[in-house]
Structure 1
Amino acid sequence: MDYLKLSGKNFLVTGVANRKSVAWHTAKLLEEAGATVIYSVRSEQRKESLAKLLAGKPVYICDVERQEEIDRLRDEVAAEYDVLHGLVHSIAFADYSSGWLPFHETPRAAFLQSVDISCYSLIALANAFKPMWDEEASIVTVSISTTRMAAENYGFMAPVKAALDSTVCFLAKSFSKFSRVRFNAVCPGLLKTSASAGIPGYVDSYLHAEKATLRKAAVQTEEVADAIAFLLSPRSSGINSQGLVIDAGMGTNYFDESLVRPDQTSE
């Protein structure tokens, strides 16, 4: 039974890095549902590293910092497929090579590059593929559960994700002038991914976030992929210009007694 009505549809999935990626878990769900997944990776090196994982699947190369590569990706995909029914935008990058700096010392070049890759790329891809989107296509990006919690180690990436959240709204409004294409974001709590491993002090933050969830168990990447598949499907047709928070209740549980009084044990 094709409950999500994804069978026979074409989806462009960006950002697969390895088996831990949100993009990879989502792609597997889509393929299991009978959809065709078209993969876009950032470099030839990344394509080679994914050779076993993506064997026999359509894989294209696109560095989203380069408009000419985005245009080339569109042309290459258009040569093989007539229509796209959705996009998974799972692209984010932050250069922390300068070390763990106070936010006010954020390097200009690093901040602007992060905005370009993590946020502007959604605009560029949506616009480049405009002729290919199905009338009711669904485009989903990956944000974070809150951009209002100033975690020092996450640094300038939170403001960049805030820009991404706003971009979702503006794209939804802009595309509504000529189509029914939907734009939404999934906003997960802390996950175990390779990308997160590059954030200074991430493990400590992850373990704390797990304690703050209502179920005392961290959000799983598969749970985020499930939500993305739903937002890509016609079953979510009434959802547009939204951010779907997936944090296992963490956002309502900051003052849990176990966090406020960690040294006291219940009798």
Structure 2
Amino acid sequence: MTGAAALPLAGRKVLVTGIANDQSIAHGCARAFRAMGADLAITYLNDKALPHVAPLAEALGAELLLPLDLRQADALESVFAAITERWGVLHAALHSIAFAPKDDLHGRLVDSSAAGFAMAMDISCHSFIRMARLAEPLMRGGGTLFTMSFQGASKVVEHYNLMGPVKAALESSVRYLAHELGPAGIRVHAISPGPIATRAASGLAEFDHLLADAAARAPAHALATIDDVGYATAMLAADHARLITGTTLYVDGGYHIMG
């Protein structure tokens, strides 16, 4: 086989959320999906973010560029309505969105506010469950759902604070969704990159120290790039991975195995 027919995701329709700029993990995933043949729908947060995301979407030949602010009612439903109208089908969707109010993120978990915890859980975790519910009827022939996690879901990572329990809930949700949607041929995965210098990560205290520690202690002695994460993710959307589901895939040079 040669040309487009040889690409493992040729003709597949893929939704990518969470691109903020060219250093976003979601951008690395979008590039990998596209390189493997997929057609893309890409979202951006708001008008302020649009100038940073629109050129990336254009470069990738995205067929849809849609606003998505999960703090707005029905925003996710509007994205899926547009996908339904344009494509009528969906083969994969990437959820790469997380948020916690600054005071709650930077403070101790024990001091977190109920409102801040609830917002972090809603945007960072429950929105993935809502995405799965909206994607299910479009994935009539099966599909793959992805969300982004971090090692702080299973181990204490200094300064990760509130997001640790939130990501733990997200990874648990992946397992339950994989169980519930498996009979429909829908696979569900959490991707857990090692520390990567992204805009979102820059909000964590002492993040530069975490980067240096990961590079020094990982068996590979290297940090993953957004493209490393992207191709590992896209690989799981291909038919070759049809019997892999419910996993948390670490893309971190082995950093997660170190004590």
Normalised by the length of structure 2, the TM-score is 0.91
Deviation of 1:67 after TM superposition, in Å, equals: 4.3
Fraction of identical pairs, as percent: 27
Alpha-carbon RMSD across the aligned residues, in angstroms, is 1.8
Deviation of 1:98 after TM superposition, in Å, equals: 5.5
Aligned: 1:169 with 2:171? no
What residue in structure 1 maps to residue 127 of structure 2? Answer: 121
Q: Which runs of 5+ in 2 are unaligned?
A: none
Judge conservation of contact 1:145–1:246 (CA < 8 Å) in 2: no
What residue in structure 2 maps to residue 186 of structure 1? Answer: 191
Secondary structure, counterpart of 1:40 in structure 2: strand
Distance 2:9 2:113 in 1: 43
Of the candidates 13, 16, 20, which is equivalent to residue 13 of structure 1? Answer: 16
Aligned residues: 253
What residue in structure 1 maps to residue 26 of structure 2? Answer: 23
What residue in structure 2 maps to residue 200 of structure 1? Answer: 205
Of the candidates 132, 139, 149, which is equivalent to residue 143 of structure 1? Answer: 149
Distance 1:229 1:250 in 2: 21
Secondary structure, counterpart of 2:41 in structure 1: strand
Aligned: 1:213 with 2:244? no
Partner amino acid, structure 2, of 1:210 = A
Secondary structure, counterpart of 2:185 in structure 1: coil
Secondary structure, counterpart of 1:52 in structure 2: helix
Aligned: 1:85 with 2:91? yes
Deviation of 1:43 after TM superposition, in Å, equals: 1.9
Distance 1:226 1:133 in 2: 22
Deviation of 1:4 after TM superposition, in Å, equals: 5.8
Partner amino acid, structure 1, of 2:257 = T
Bigger share in helix: 2
What residue in structure 2 maps to residue 34 of structure 1? Answer: 37
- Taking structure 1 as reference, are residues 191 and 212 closer, same or farther at Cα in structure 2, changes over 3 Å only? same
Larger Rg: 1
What residue in structure 2 maps to residue 43 of structure 1? Answer: 46
Residues 134-165 of structure 1, C-alpha deviation per residue, up to 9 Å, x if partnerless? 42201111111352322231111011000000
Normalised by the length of structure 1, the TM-score is 0.88
Deviation of 1:54 after TM superposition, in Å, equals: 2.1
* Segment of structure 1 superposing worse, 143-152 or 33-42: 143-152
